[in-house]
Amino acid sequence: MLNKNAKLNEKLFDQGVEQKPTRDGYGEGLVNAGYEDPNVVVLCADLTESTRCEAFAKKFPDRFFEVGVAEQNLATIAAGLGVTGKIPFIASYATFSPGRNWEQVRTTISYNDSNVKVIGAHAGISVGPDGATHQAIEDIATMRVMANMRVIVPCDAIEAKKATMAVAKVWGPAYVRLGREKTPVFTTEATPFTIGKAEVLWESNGKKGKSKKPQVAIIGCGPLLHRALQAAHELEEEGIGTIVLNSHTVKPLDEKKIVEVAEACGAVVTVEEHQVSGGLGGAVAELLAKHMPVPMEFIGMQNVFGESGQPDELIEKYGMGTSDIKDAVKRVARRA
């Protein structure tokens, strides 16, 4: 059953649920952050409209800087601003930033604990027709290994807006991962969001229908969480109870909550639009290996590159659809 405290969209499972790209939420949150703090500045690498920096540029032209196709400069200029009292946001496609400029992000931003917010747009294979070269599926892994770096993967446009405003208020480097494609908006303005705090979206209670008390914890991040909720809904009708946990903050993980749901269920499935190595799944596995070893399955890219195609077709082809999540839950439940 949907967790009442999560306060999700009542039309969550309707065909007509609103769909917006998470990058739209970033654009809205950026303008709000700009009004709240005059130290917020934005730098972009020739992708102002695509990354949704355009609204901020129009509202605050004196606080917007177009760097051009020069992602290394994008990071190093922002690093200087970030140690002198400004709150710089830098935006590009995730394959370019933090892809092309990873060393500059590491050395000039993270090493110096500069107050820079790195926005990686068009992440995951749902970029679609742009193909493998533009589908960032390694970025969570490369960013979470950096000391001082926070990593946040919003599940929908509303959460992306909240994440943008939240990182503007906390000191230090942060990476926020965004998608290009329209995806379901299933949280609301009232849905809780706190950096570093995972939220239970679904919890079977064994009191209605055929469901049992939770047997498997589904821990996910990003827009694929909508498919995880669909899977949980269908599994409940089949008598398989689950907990769905929104671990939007991949670093720092909400260690207490993740260990708690793993202990309660005895098995875990992680869900992310990213390589299964090094991303959320890897982070959860590292944590549970130390504190609560349980059987695990990993939904994500299985050591392959993507290809050109329609976003939904690619999600299905690479084993990240609702049916794939259900199958993973059933497999891990048998091992528990």
pLDDT one-digit tens code per residue, 301-336: 999 999 999 999 999 999 999 999 999 999 999 998
The reply to whether 168 and 180 lie within a common domain is yes
The reply to whether 195 and 238 lie within a common domain is yes
User: Quick one: pLDDT at residue 211?
Assistant: 59
* DSSP-H helix ranges across 200-310: 225-237, 255-265, 280-291
Kind of pairing between the strands at 183-184 and 214-220: unpaired
User: Quick one: pLDDT at residue 210?
Assistant: 59
The reply to whether 176 and 30 lie within a common domain is yes
234 in active site: no
- Of the three residues 162, 184, 206, the one that is the final residue of a domain is 184
The reply to whether 172 and 202 lie within a common domain is no
Q: pLDDT confidence of 196, banded at 50, 70, 90?
A: very high
Distance of CA 5 to the CA centre of its chain: 21
Q: What is the mean pLDDT of the chain?
A: 96
The reply to whether 42 and 145 lie within a common domain is yes
Select from 293, 256, 250 the least CA-distant residue to 275.
Answer: 250
The reply to whether 279 and 313 lie within a common domain is yes
Tens digit of pLDDT for each residue in 74-123? 999 999 999 999 999 999 999 999 999 999 999 999 999 999 999 999 99
Give me the CATH number covering residue 303: 3.40.50.920
The reply to whether 128 and 215 lie within a common domain is no
The reply to whether 271 and 177 lie within a common domain is no
The reply to whether 10 and 23 lie within a common domain is no
Tens digit of pLDDT for each residue in 159-194? 999 999 999 999 999 999 999 999 999 999 999 999
Share of residues in the chain with pLDDT > 70 (%): 98
- Of the three residues 120, 151, 184, the one that is the final residue of a domain is 184
The reply to whether 121 and 243 lie within a common domain is no
Give me the CATH number covering residue 72: 3.40.50.970
The reply to whether 205 and 156 lie within a common domain is no
Select from 81, 83, 143 the least CA-distant residue to 113.
Answer: 83
Catalytic residue among 28, 71, 199, 203: 71
Number of domains in the chain: 2
Q: Structure pTM? A: 0.96
Q: Give the structural domain span for 324.
A: 4-17+191-335
Residue 282 burial (10 A CB sphere; 0-12, 13-18, 19+): buried
The angle formed by the CA atoms of residues 310, 313 and 319, to the nearest 5 degrees, is 140
- Of the three residues 131, 162, 184, the one that is the final residue of a domain is 184
User: Quick one: pLDDT at residue 206?
Assistant: 63
The reply to whether 198 and 177 lie within a common domain is no
